[in-house]
Structure 1
Amino acid sequence: MTRRSVEEEVEALATMSPAQVRARWKQVTGAVVPKVSPSLLRLALAYELQAKAYGGLSRKTQQRLAQLAAAKTQTRDIKPGMRLVREWNGAVHVVDVDDSSTIHWNGRAWRSLSEVARAITGTRWSGPAFFGLKQKVAA
């Protein structure tokens, strides 16, 4: 789908009847039509068309939105230059984040804090929780 055809499809939603919008929803998503107003369904359908053409939200953004919606925890992002220190079983572990946001621990680069936490503990941990970046929100 070209950029122009996506724009044309989104523009066409404004002139569709509610029945046409519902039918287009089923065609595009393959899902049951949500019980929302036609105007809201048009917005959702416009998003779906664009997400299919250009890609949807990143995994990180989806997780952040889910976390905000649940309002139970808050996770700070790692930033270049950050140094995280954690004591585990009597040993101090230092993780550095370089200018390209690469995570360094124990003399090598790691893809995520969770991988580092797993290497340190031998069990599956949330890296941000292990290093204190994920905290419960006060009620």
Structure 2
Amino acid sequence: MAKLRLSLRTGLNRQPDAMQKKYRNGRAPTKTSVEDEIAHLRGLDLGGLRARWQGVFRRPAPAHLTRHLLFAVIAYRLQADRLGDLDHATLQVLDRTVAKLEGPAMSARLASFDQKRTELTPGTVLVREWDRQSQRVMVIADGFAWNGQTYDSLSKVAFAITGTRWNGPRFFGLRDKDDRSTTGARP
């Protein structure tokens, strides 16, 4: 049985180059057809992108992925399938990198990362999709900037965006979901 490789770009398994067809249908598509398909993807809502993911990857889309990430991964996979994926030398470099990070060394690195102690440095941009719109918040020296306003906490930014009280770090994905639920909130 053929050994499967981990693709770092999509996090999905792929077959070794010898087992792949260069193009899914055996012939190179025109550049326009790939562009047209990606343009069509841009017009899809979250549900449409989830359905397209199912068609491309033959499995349901991960529930935590935002519209932006679904679009990016699907667009990459469509281009790679039709125009060719990473070359053999690049795959070897990626395989060596993954091999160095696997096992106890990687577990130790992950264990040392504590979400609750992550410091946000000025200039960091936090992105959250809310109500089908991408919300971008910049970390500044004295707080957070969003929509031309300055806020002293992420929770106040989350309230300004949603109209509902949220734990700001949780809203922006910096903390895991805790046991308490927020009444009336929607993802």
Q: TM range, normalised to the smaller chain?
A: 0.3 to 0.5
TM normalised by structure 1 equals 0.46
Bigger relative contact order (CA 8 A; separation at least 6): 1
Q: Which has the higher strand share?
A: 1
